[in-house]
Structure 1
Amino acid sequence: MEVRLEGITKSFGDFTAVNNLNVTIDDGTLAGLLGPSGCGKSTTLYMIAGLEKPTSGRIYFGDEDVTDLPPEKRGIGLVFQNYALYPHMTVRQNIMFPLENAKVPKAEALKTAQEMADLVQIGHLMDRKPGELSGGQQQRVAIARAIAKKPRVLLLDEPLSNLDARLRLETREEIRRIQQETGITTIFVTHDQEEAMSITDTIVLMKDGVLQQKEAPQEMYRKPANQFVASFMGTPPMGFLTGKVENHKIMIGSSVLSEMEAADGEVIIGVRPESWRLSEHEGMDATVTMVEVIGRDTLMTVEVEGQKIRCLIDSDYEVKVSDKVKLAVKPQAIHLFDKTSGHRLG
């Protein structure tokens, strides 16, 4: 089911949480609503669910305008951050609950509940209660309950935030598997860019209620639309230096970083830490100011022409604070942004 938002704005008094959002989620895809806290992503999800009503704009499921429909009429499955399971009910009863409310015959409801439990790999836990389950198992119960009524759209609000690191990894892989097996259009909210990049077909990245970029994860990583997107996507984050383009040379102070086809003028130069390399003969002179060994890699902070940037290098290179090094970078790894607006150049 395609989900389309047209000119969606949501205000709470004088505060605008979502501002003129236009975005389409394609049928059968897994989309991540991504951004920092307070960017409007959960508000957007709640408007899609029908829990919040837009101040202006329209929401469509396919060709159907659902803007004024209550949640129960939209054909959605919703999974909350805290799972919202009934503690006095068994796993089976929790999954069956929306089916019983919909007056589905008991035999059919039992069969569907077992099928959904098997799909999320908790079929052997049907007689347990939520308090007897791990966080990851509870999350799977919540997902099974949400998809038991065969929704047109599945909505997940920060579904992994209550899990530890290992469980988050396992559960996000399960969410992807379940979405692919069911083919349900799925939208989930997260503030974790690694989480969004790992399993989504598309990312909708927001800041201060405004859409920054909608793109496939790797394309957004390779070609960020502006400096905010560039800084938000990637771990460690992209570093930035103030420089200029002069006669097709990328300059940082008096140092030449690279040659590149670009218009002359002052720019913000963005380079991801992993795109730098140490060189013996070419590149910019830099001084190491901090060294952090993180397993197979070394994250070092260097100073170039009075500006600092972080570089990720192989830990086989032995560097220490105060070392003088030469830094080089491939031209295709350089991102240029307008110094005033932050928009991508080229």
Structure 2
Amino acid sequence: MDAREIRKTVDEALYGFVDHRGPILGAVSADLTPLLDALDALLSGGKRLRPAFCYWGWRGSGGGDLPEFFTAAASLELLQAGALIHDDVMDGSDTRRGMPAVHRRFEALHARSGWRGSAEGFGTGAAILLGNVCLTWCDEMYQGSGLTDEALTRGRPLFNQMRTEVMCGQYLDLLGQARGPQPDGRAMVESALRVIRFKSAKYTVERPLQLGAALADSPSVEALSAYGMPVGIAFQLRDDVLGVYGDPAETGKPAGDDLREGKRTVLIALTLERASAAQAAAVERLLGDPELDAAGVETLREIIVTTGALDACEEMIDRYAAEASAALAAAPLTSDARAALSELTVAATARTV
């Protein structure tokens, strides 16, 4: 299967599962329809990277193109949806994938309807609940995929660990923003990298790849970390760069949104590590200002460039991508899987969206 066929098959499994849950919610109340509408809108976007990495872990370990496997792999998109919904609430994001973030969508519904109480509070509560639904359905979809009990049992520890790790990463991200800058610049970079490992790298690449291999009963699941972890780190580093310098028409988020949200990314940590006292003071003054205007965004962009942080981050991306490529050459996978994963490495690290 090529990338387009994989996505099409994953989408069919994903939308089929969600469509079958519609009547369950409808039997409770027609008032739940906006929840499904919001989920459908969110699921209509995305790169489907997690199921793709899972597929090549499975296929590269001898698995066939079974519909039951694609159902299990597609469940990762519900994990992703739940994580994104909750992440946007915590970050106060206004948009996701070129549309209003889920909490903003429900906030607007409250305002349009003229309901009582706080529209913002209603939006936040509704988004938390929809995120919880996604996490519940993720487990339900995996367990009910139709794969054998033996296969599901082999994959279950990784499936559970992945879900725990991403929540731990979310907390570490919150903690980093709450603590603010640290006196040791290198410690700031390491702290930001730890967030990347658990919030992004593990559940974007490493664990999905290992999950596919485990479902196929590969004896070499652990060996895939040597490829999966550096690719996942490079992927998120690229995402951090795009969060500051990306084209809104391609990223689906306003320019500099990560700066308004005050994200303590590796890019920002590298900036503060290299900044003069005046530059560091400017970063701390502007970073996390929800009203940050275009001039403020440009000021921060210039500081990131002049400190050499952008170049340092690009060098890190190249280094992690090269590490992944070297590990892939020795990975215990079939040649077609290695070729496909090589293409995914480029797509994940050299992208513009």
Q: Does TM, normalized by the shorter one, top 0.5?
A: no
Structure with greater helix percent: 2
- With normalisation by structure 1, the TM-score equals 0.29
Structure with greater strand percent: 1
Higher-Rg structure is: 1
Q: Name the structure, 1 or 2, with higher relative contact order (CA <8 Å, separation 6+).
A: 2
